[in-house]
Amino acid sequence: MANLEFCSPGTFADALYAKMKAVNPGIEEMELYEFQYCLNNLEPGERGWNSVDLLRMDQIEDWIKDPEFFTSIQIKPQVGGKIVLDETIVRLTNVLLVGLATGAYPVEWVRANFYFDIRGFFFLTRTVYFTDAVLAHLGGRPFRTFEKKQERLEGWPELGYRAFREANAEVDEAFLSIVDKLVAAKGTPIVLAIAGGTAAGKTEIVARLRNSFERDGKPVTSIELDNFLTDRDQREQKGIHTLGRKAIHSDLFYASLQEILRGQTITTPRYNFIDGTSSHDLDGSLKPGRVAIEIEPAEIIFVEGNFPFLLKEIAPLIGIKVVYLTGDAIRLKRKWRRDIDYRQKYDPNYFLNRYFRNQPLMASECYRPQMQICDLVVDTTGAAIWATPETAAILKAR
């Protein structure tokens, strides 16, 4: 596809700046010269933006539907000893920017397939979570809907938990009430598992549920699935998105759930998030010098993680299965503030490569499969709570 010739980088920036305001409203907060600074970091080759060859829109759609496109993304590519943004991500962003500036790609099409992260200044693909199979499992329509208050956060470059919680307040309060009714209907002891992506808000909502049950005098405990992760290096060798038995100590996890439901105290692995290592080796034995976690039984046992009921043998042990869903773009904003600003956990380019690569793969391998077997989906971005027909019937009867 032929490109229009730009007289200068400034001409290109002028044309693109107006279009990008419609792609992400946060661009309005940038002055044109600030926008130009960001573009300079992406401008390719000696011929600059004129050297970018566009693709047909259907070619791009086919590109981003192919899992191999995402598995090809390098997490730690380096230039001059420093981690850089993967060249495929840069190419995609440049193609979309030039397509917008020239009018080859309508803003509506770009927004439908991609979202733009202002702080990273690059495009990421939109992930589809509510497939036909998921919708059929959940009865075809939400159990309850609310005002979509997260839409106000679209233009923010990063996001703290306070604003995130305020946007989700109505959804979360309804969810707390729903869980209380389900526990009363199903009885205890019961395992309540909340699946969801990183920075979706799982930890915080579990804390609020715990406080609610403890106020009612119900003994509560938690099992963190992340503590069953195997060593990070081992997972990354197999592919950072690898799930299930290849990513966790699955036998230990299964045994722990069985024992705690029988009222026994359990001992679980402990994962070190700083160096990315487990307290246990791949055979399930405690490593020398490491300390495991001891957990007492309780009436309500929370399991929090990305894929707590993905394994077939685990799902029957879980009394209430929840997917707590927050859109990828909002989660990325939270991770900028939490993992880069506060925790200073990652190199920024490593962080971006990893996020770009993992979200579509995790949706395909982890979240959509769990959405097809769960009892509830709490969609904070879509401001809706979904329930299976069976779960909805229990709730309506109480």
The pTM (predicted TM-score) of the whole model is: 0.90
CA distance 300 to 222: 8
Structural domains for the chain = 9-125 (no CATH), 132-396 (3.40.50.300)
DSSP lists the bridge partners of residue 267 as 294
pLDDT at 82: 96
CA distance 386 to 392: 9
CA distance 321 to 195: 8
Half-sphere exposure of 71 (CA within 13 A, CB side): 11
**pLDDT tens for each residue of the chain, 398 residues long:** 444 555 566 788 999 999 999 999 999 999 999 999 999 999 887 778 988 999 999 999 999 999 999 999 999 999 999 999 999 999 999 999 999 999 999 999 999 999 999 999 999 999 999 999 999 999 999 999 999 999 999 999 999 999 999 999 999 999 999 999 999 999 999 999 999 999 999 989 999 999 999 999 999 999 988 899 999 888 877 654 455 566 889 999 999 999 999 999 999 999 998 899 999 998 999 999 999 999 999 999 999 888 899 988 899 999 999 999 999 999 999 999 999 999 998 999 999 999 999 999 999 999 999 999 999 999 999 999 999 999 999 999 97
